[in-house]
Amino acid sequence: MAIDKVMSKEAFASFVESAKTVSGYRDPIAFGITRIDRGQKNEDKILQATFALTNWNENFGSAAVFAASLADAGVNVDFSASEFVTEVSRDFVENAMNIFTPYIEEAAGNDHKNVQVIKHLSELFMSQQVDETSFKIVFLFEDSAPQSVEAIYLKLYGLSEAKVALRSVNLDGAFGKLENVAWSGNMPIELDWLRENEISLKLDGMYPEISSVDKFPRFLQHVIPADNTRILDASKVRMGAQLHAGTTVMPGASYINFNAGTTGPVMVEGRISSSAIVGAGSDVGGGASILGVLSGTDGNPISIGENTLLGANSVTGIPLGDGCIVDAGVSILAGTKISINTDEFNKIKEANPEWTSADTDVFKGAVLAGLNGIHFREDSLTGAIKAFRSTREVKLNADLH
């Protein structure tokens, strides 16, 4: 006994309003419907979740429709939990189709994308091509440590689709919940299944092409970048990375880890390690390394400002402000001792009015963290690492001055 068809947009609005009065109801911070890849050997293992659409603090009406459609199909959403995941049943789809009736026809292109999802699911179920274990619906009510693979993927989508800010999402324990699998193109394969079938696959000449073995998929398996964004090698950007429009990732030594990326157009020829963020107009030179929270930054994530240049094969272990330059081959870590003469100290001070350091001859890298307009060089006559006021433009924050 499905929910009756809703025959007008007014009736739809009333339905949603009423659906939200269910005891304990609350709007999700995120929700979406995902196709599921299950273990070839162990069907209970979720290897990957591919979301047709994700909603982050938006489309609450659709969320209410989905919750009501589940309830009528016998599944009560637990609104008190931090997340709720359940299978997409035929009854759920039929209910949602009925409720969405006034929008079905106009659901196309950029309009009513949640309705489009239900419409396509309805077609799939009618064509008998799929069964009820192929899809799940996921609600996040709080940003707690994720409890399921599906919730982790929803959060990775949030990051990679730039619906949430980098470093703003709780991914505690995510590594432990994801399976390490062999990826053959977009398809995850259990390693144990490969082992069990190795002899026959190899003798048959059917052993699959494996592009990686990892817990995470690649960004481009799930996310369509902006028109002016370029990723020359899919292996270089992990799902969960965030690339602002106009970013280019070259194929040499570059890499962008999950929960790391760019907040403006950036040329990336080096490594942006986990939790590192690079600002608009900056250039991460060939082989340049920005250290991550797992490698030498004492857990403090590194931000690089705007219009900053990291030279080829340089290493940056401290945050940098706007308009900085690290020369090719130079390494600046928190403990690096950096010489600055009084003239340059004064210029740097001028570009960084809030900086309170007294003038000395030598500064530790950590003391210069986050400053604008610094040029780090190695004096090729003496080997000393020195800092100067850079020639790069620094846009002073008008609110502060």
Query: Hey, which residues between 41 and 100 contact its own copies (CB under 8 A)?
Result: 50-53
As a whole number of angstroms, the distance between CA 9 and CA 100 comes to 9
Among 289, 297, 352, 390, binds its own copies (CB under 8 A): 289
Residues 187-246 that bind its own copies (CB under 8 A): 191-192, 194-196, 198-200, 202-205, 207-215, 220-222, 224-225, 227-236, 238
Minimum separation from the CB atom of position 328 to its own copies (A): 4
Minimum separation from the CB atom of position 116 to its own copies (A): 5
Query: Which residue's CB is nearer to its own copies, number 204 or number 399?
Result: 204
Q: Is 1 in the site for its own copies (CB under 8 A)?
A: no
What is the Cα 370 distance to its own chain's centre?
A: 24
CA dihedral 47, 50, 51, 57 (to 10 degrees): 50
CA dihedral 279, 315, 313, 282 (to 10 degrees): 10
Query: Which residue's CB is nearer to its own copies, number 12 or number 216?
Result: 216
Over its C-alpha atoms, the chain yields an Rg (Å, rounded) of 26
Q: Is 122 in the site for its own copies (CB under 8 A)?
A: no
Residues 291-310 that bind its own copies (CB under 8 A): 291, 295-296
H helix runs in 39-132, sequence order? 60-72, 90-99, 113-126
Q: If you ran DSSP here, which 8-state letter would residue 82 be given?
A: S
Determine whether 306 is an active site residue.
no
H helix runs in 304-383, sequence order? 342-351
Query: Which residue's CB is nearer to its own copies, number 151 or number 330?
Result: 330
Q: Is 336 in the site for its own copies (CB under 8 A)?
A: yes
Among 82, 349, 378, 396, binds its own copies (CB under 8 A): 378
As a whole number of angstroms, the distance between CA 270 and CA 288 comes to 4
Q: Is 384 in the site for its own copies (CB under 8 A)?
A: yes
Q: Is 124 in the site for its own copies (CB under 8 A)?
A: yes
Residues 145-184 that bind its own copies (CB under 8 A): 180, 182
Residue 249 CA: distances (Å) to CA of 52, 66, 143, 157, 399: 25, 38, 30, 19, 33
Out of 94, 150, 269, 306, pick the active-site residue: 269
Q: Which stretch binds its own copies (CB under 8 A): 67-75, 142-150, 327-335, 388-396?
A: 327-335
Q: If you ran DSSP here, which 8-state letter would residue 183 be given?
A: E
Among 35, 38, 90, 177, binds its own copies (CB under 8 A): 35
Minimum separation from the CB atom of position 318 to its own copies (A): 12
Residues 340-359 that bind its own copies (CB under 8 A): none
Is the CB of residue 207 less than 8 Å from the CB of residue 201?
yes
Q: Is 313 in the site for its own copies (CB under 8 A)?
A: yes
Q: Is 250 in the site for its own copies (CB under 8 A)?
A: yes
Q: Which residues of 304-313 are buried (b: 16+ CB within 10 A; e: fewer)?
A: bbbbbbbbbb
Q: Which residues of 153-175 are buried (b: 16+ CB within 10 A; e: fewer)?
A: bbbbbbbbbbbbebbebebeebe
Query: Which residue's CB is nearer to its own copies, number 300 or number 339?
Result: 339
The residues annotated with a catalytic role in the active site are 269
